[in-house]
Structures are given as C-alpha cells and as structure tokens.
Amino acid sequence: MSMTTETNVINMAEIFGSNVFNDSVMRTVLPKAIYKSLRKTIEEGIPLDPQVAEVVASAMKDWAISKGATHFTHWFQPLTGVTAEKHDSFISPTLDGRVIMEFSGKELIKGEPDASSFPSGGLRATFEARGYTAWDCTSPAFVKDGSLYIPTAFASYTGEALDKKTPLLRSMDALNRQALRVLRALGNTTTNKVTTTVGPEQEYFLIDKKLFDQRLDLMLTGRTLFGAKPPKGQDLEDHYFGQIKDRIAAYMSDLDSELWKLGVSAKTKHNEVAPAQHELAPIFTTTNIATDHNQLTMETMKKVALRHGLVCLLHEKPFAGVNGSGKHNNWSMGTDDGQNLLEPGKTPHENTQFLLFLTAIIKAVDIYADLLRASAASPGNDHRLGANEAPPAIISIFLGDQLTDILEQIEKTGGATSSKARGKIELGTASLPFLFKDTTDRNRTSPFAFTGNKFEFRMVGSSQSVAQCNFTLNTAVAEILSQIADRLEKTEDILAETYSIILEIIQNHKRIIFNGNGYCDEWVEEAAQRGLANTRTTVDAIAAINAEKNKTLMSKHGVLSRVEMESRTEIQYEIYVKTINIEGLTAVEIAKRQLLPACINFKADLASSITSIEGVGGDTDVEKELFGKVNVAMKSLYANIAKLEKAIETAANLHGDSKAQAEAYRDLVFAAMNELRADADVLETLVDADYWPLPTYSDLLFKV
C-alpha cells in the first residue's frame, strides 16, 4: 500500500524520540519546580538535588514501564572501544510474596559495576574491583530492548576516569570557560554558554551473513586476513551515490526507524565508493549527545543488519585494495544565544570575532597535532590512513582560497580590506539556475578541513568512538583561548590586541595550512620541510599521549590527570598488542586448517589427473606447469606459517615493556602476516574454486 508524503512526515514526527526521556517528556511528567531544577543542572551545571533525583527516578521508571521496560541499566563507555551495560529489574519483593516496581534516585545517580575486568592501564589492582557509574543528566535516557538505558560516566573507586565520556564532559566545561572569557573580553555580555557541536558521518560495509559465517577472520577480527583482488572492485566508480539495492534500501529504512525512535537524527544515507559500502550522516547536536548517538548508531547498525540476513562491518579496512571506512567528525562551536562562532559571514575579512576563533583553532591544531593524530590511532586505521580514500597521516588544515587570502593579507599588512567573492557557476543553459559557490571547496585529502562554518576531522576510523578526538580538540582549543583571554583581559585596546594575536598566530603557525593534494608524494616532502610529522602507525602515535606538553595540557584544564594520561598510553599499547595477536593467531589457524588442506587436496587430485592423462598418452604440460606453481606457493605458505608462529612467540615473550611489545607485533607479527597473505592470495588464483574454502572478494562484495 502506497503512502503519501504527508503520511510519511506524520509518521516520522510520531516516532521520532518516542523511546527517549527527552525534554518534552520531562515537561509533561515532572512537577514544574522539579523540571526547572533539573534544567538548571543540565544547562548551568548546578549540583543535582537528591530530592530532585528521587522524583525524576520515579517519573522515569513509570515512563519506561509504559514503554514496556522491565529493567534498567547504566550505559557507559569503558576503554574497550565498545559500550557496556548491566541490567537490573525494577522489581522489589513484598512481605506477601508479591513484587512492586521500584527505582530510586540513588539507583539513578550511581551504579556499582564490577570494574575489575575493564582496562585501567595500571590505575588500580585487579583485586580492587569497585567502580562507579554516574548519571549524565545532559544526555537523555531511552528505552531499548525492554530496558531503560541511562547514559553514565564510569570512574574508579579512587575517582580516576575509566571511560571516554568523563574526559569529554570535562573538556566541554573547559572550552566553555575559556571561550566565555574571550567573548566577554570582546564585549559580549549576552552569551552564557559555549558548546561544541558534532555531526559524525558513519561509513560501513554490509555483507551476506551466510558468507560471513564462512570467514573465521571476519568473525574474529572484523577484516579479511586473506583474499585475492577481484576482477572488478571499485574501478568503475559506479557504486558511489548509485542506486541503492532493494535489500539494502529495506535495511536502511529499518535502521532509520530504529534510530529515530531513539532520538538519533539520521539524516543522509547513500552508497559509498567501494562495493557493499554505505554511509549514514546525522544532524549536528551537542558533542556528548552526538557521541552517545554515534555509539547507538553503530550498535543499531549491527543489530538491524542481522534481521535482514546481513552483517554490518565497521572495521576501517575489511577488504584490501578497496576503500576503507572512516568517520568524518564535523565539529563547530556555538553559543546559547544562537551564534555559530565559526560562521564567516558575508564579509569574513571584517568579522574579527570569527578570525580570532579561527586562528585559535589553527594554533591549537599545530601545537597539538601529535595528540590529535593519536586520537584517531587504532590498528584498523593503520590500514586506512594514507590510502586513496583517506587523509594522510600528516596533520594539516585546509582553509580554501578565500580564508587563506584573508590571512595572507593580515600577515602582509596587519589587516584585511577585502575577501574573494564567493562567485557563481553558470551551467550554460537558461533552463538551469546559476549556483552560488560555497566559501570553501571540500578538500577530500585534508585530515582537518574547514567546510563553510565547521571543521571536518576526517582521520577518525569507522569503528572508533568520537569521544577522544573531540575531547582532544576541545581541550587544545580551550588552552589557546585561555592564552588569548589572558592577553585581552590585560589590554586597553582590544581591537589592536586582537589583530596582534591573529597576526602572531598566522606568522607562527601558517605551516599547518595546506590547500593542495594531500595524496601526492610532493606533499610528504614539503610537510617534512615544514616540520610536520608523518606518523604512519598507531604504535608511533600512542607516544604522544604520554608526552610532557600533552600531559600538562590535559591536567591544567582538568580533563585528564597525568596519571590518567599515563594509564591510557598503556591501554592503547595493550589494545594494539591484543588486536595484532588475535589477527596473527587467526591467520595461522585459517592457513593451517583450511587453506593448506584445500591446496593439498587440489594438488593430489591434480597429480592424479596428470597420471591418468599420461597413461593414455595425453599432453600434460599445462597441468604440470600449474602443479609446479601450486607446489612453489604451497611451500612458501608452509614456511611462512612457521615464520608467523615464531614471530607471535617472540612478540608475546616481550611482556613487561608495552611499547617494545607493540613495536614487535608491528614489525614482526604484522609483517609476517602480510607475507603469509601474499602466498595465500596467489594460491586462491591457482586452486579450483570448488576446493577453495573461503568465500572470495567477488562473493563478499557483490552477493549482497
């Protein structure tokens, strides 16, 4: 039955946020005084009154039960890379053998999960098991799968952050404080709060579950450890923005509905460059809510895929030789009275406030480029960065011609008198309208590009939380704004001092600005001459977390203590080691138990065929040549299995020095895995398809 556009709009309006304890619901179910008190906590950071929490908890429980919930859970984001949850029912027994449904303010505010099995990086001993979850009232609770989900932070018994949300919330407070200082110095008396907003675009692959179940590597590691290049990949570029297949369209429609119920503003969906690859983009929202929503998006993507007989792959590079998946983190700053602080306006050369905040970000990215690079570091992302679909591992900023011209004018003359007009595009026929150009182009090769009124950080991997890149960016910008505020608060000539600051930043940090092609070899050479680091691997990037200037930055603004920074360094190394170890062991198992036996069977049957053909006087030159090629590749495969096993043993024995062990897994194990793969991929092209035990790239990418 077809539905009109009007019906679709009405249905969308009805379901959007229907499972969320949002502001609209709170206004309805909470007493007016309680609602106002809670809003003050959310908007102004005023401590939550325990009595308010009791009333909110009762109302939240009743609302959740009306939505079919029987349990509640404190939903948090430990340093495992995924979310965590422990479910408790609302029931409480009575003396007459019945139960009542209860949920207290204490249960809402604080939970006590067992923290012993979560990464702590040496912050606490294993036997010291207690940890606490604390209600984040700025991110709304929601009902999913029969439980009330309460977004929370997660901390150790001694108060250290054991999650990704706590430093994110701290960084938002830090940036708000410093941005307000700058705005007040510039004469702004109306703004009371500055928040960062984020819209993370999410890329992903969909493959058939029956094929997925035949690939141990996909099940255990999220990527294919073996697989020869298919005859057709993304060569024709016909998948990007192409017509969406019916099966995928049904999945996307189902996904949209589920996300809308949870208040996730899924906006855009389309095919991406690689076969079987797609993208979903939401509307901007406050950074901590956007982070929660992105976690929900990834979880929902996987769950909905199974309903459709599909599997959603979020690994950064599930298939070699085709585009990987990233997460474009669109970041901006706004005020509670409606200003976008990164909006250039029609005359950006006259917009002093914009230029000051713009150059503050330029300085922040230049000084803390290493920490920003570390925020996007992961074993999966090492496969992607620097490839033809992702930015290079060199941090640089794309500003576009107009803004670059303005900054160059300021550098030469101390001020800007004009800016390049946006211009318009004539399409050559009266039946088509002319189009006004945007302020900047969309530079696809830049890791940090200005795209109109926001910055797009394109380095983040598709499986990663956006929390770390955003608390890093927030804190770095907060530090530069604090330096600017210190100067502005001491001067009597605000305008002159403002332009002096802008000029100094341009002169000292223009090296980070690059509007060219980030993929070309010339840029690698030029970046080195500029003194910009090319940090190619996660192991190299992790060191920045423990660098003195970065520990000073985070501790100064109360985002992470020095001890917390040191612990996260250890955790990052540990995750890298475990990831590559699992991949190495999986590669050995597949090669030993699947590939080698298949090749032996094929080789035996081929030898039998040669004998039979020769027995009747037939020519076996082709068969013998094929036999020889298979034999050579098999010998190499067998030798490289042993080499990989030895590399894993060597690296595993280096426990006690996390950095050295991570380097060994990168230099020995990962290298040995690549050599083993090369042999296997050759054999895949030689062995009869009926013998080969793994679904091929052609199967995985095109049988969806």
Domain-located, residue 9: no
Same domain, 679 and 582: yes
The domain boundary, picked from 129, 163, 197, lies at 163
Domain-located, residue 565: no
Domain-located, residue 432: no
Same domain, 397 and 457: yes
Same domain, 185 and 290: yes
Domain-located, residue 75: yes
237 compared with 573, residue with greater pLDDT: 573
Cβ count within 10 A of residue 159: 10
Q: Where are the alpha helices (DSSP H) in 87-132?
A: 105-109
Residues 6+ apart with CB under 8 A from 700: 207, 208, 211, 215, 224, 227, 276, 319
Give residue 428's pLDDT. 75
Same domain, 399 and 471: yes
102 compared with 595, residue with greater pLDDT: 595
Give residue 127's pLDDT. 47
What is the domain-level CATH number for residue 582? Answer: 1.20.120.1560
What is the domain-level CATH number for residue 394? Answer: 3.30.590.10
Same domain, 83 and 216: no
Residue 120 has pLDDT above 80, yes or no: no
Sorting pLDDT into bands at 50, 70 and 90, what band is 115?
A: low
SS3 per residue for 268-314: EEEECCCCCEEEEEECCEEHHHHHHHHHHHHHHHHHHHHHCCEEEEC
| Burial class for 622, CB neighbours closer than 10 Å (0-12, 13-18, 19+) | exposed
Domain-located, residue 3: no
Could you list the residue range(s) of the whole structural domain that residue 225 is in?
A: 171-420+440-560
Residue 18 has pLDDT above 70, yes or no: yes
Tokens of 168: 């994110």
Phi, psi of 46 (to 5 degrees): -70, 135
- pLDDT, tens digit (0-9, with 9 covering 90-100), for 487-525: 999 999 999 999 999 999 999 999 999 999 888 889 999
Same domain, 535 and 608: no
Domain-located, residue 567: no
The domain boundary, picked from 111, 139, 163, lies at 163
Give residue 389's pLDDT. 63
Domain-located, residue 426: no
Mean pLDDT of 271-280: 93
Same domain, 106 and 191: no
Counted domains in the chain: 3
Residue 632 has pLDDT above 50, yes or no: yes
Sorting pLDDT into bands at 50, 70 and 90, what band is 128?
A: low
402 compared with 307, residue with greater pLDDT: 307
- pLDDT, tens digit (0-9, with 9 covering 90-100), for 85-106: 999 999 877 666 665 668 888 8
Domain-located, residue 218: yes
Q: How many helices (H) and strands (E) does the chain have?
A: 25, 19
Same domain, 131 and 219: no
Same domain, 123 and 181: no
The domain boundary, picked from 506, 533, 560, lies at 560
| Burial class for 543, CB neighbours closer than 10 Å (0-12, 13-18, 19+) | middle
Mean pLDDT of 338-350: 91
Residue 14 has pLDDT above 90, yes or no: no
Mean pLDDT of 606-621: 93
Share of the chain above pLDDT 90, in %: 76
Cα 254 to chain center, whole Å?
23
Average pLDDT, the chain: 91
The H or E element containing residue 329 is strand 327-335
Cα 277 to chain center, whole Å?
16
What is the domain-level CATH number for residue 61? Answer: 3.10.20.70
Same domain, 208 and 225: yes
Same domain, 176 and 70: no
Amino acid occupying residue 186: L
Structural contact between residues 141 and 149, judged by C-beta atoms closer than 8 angstroms: yes
| pTM of the complete model | 0.93
Same domain, 312 and 406: yes
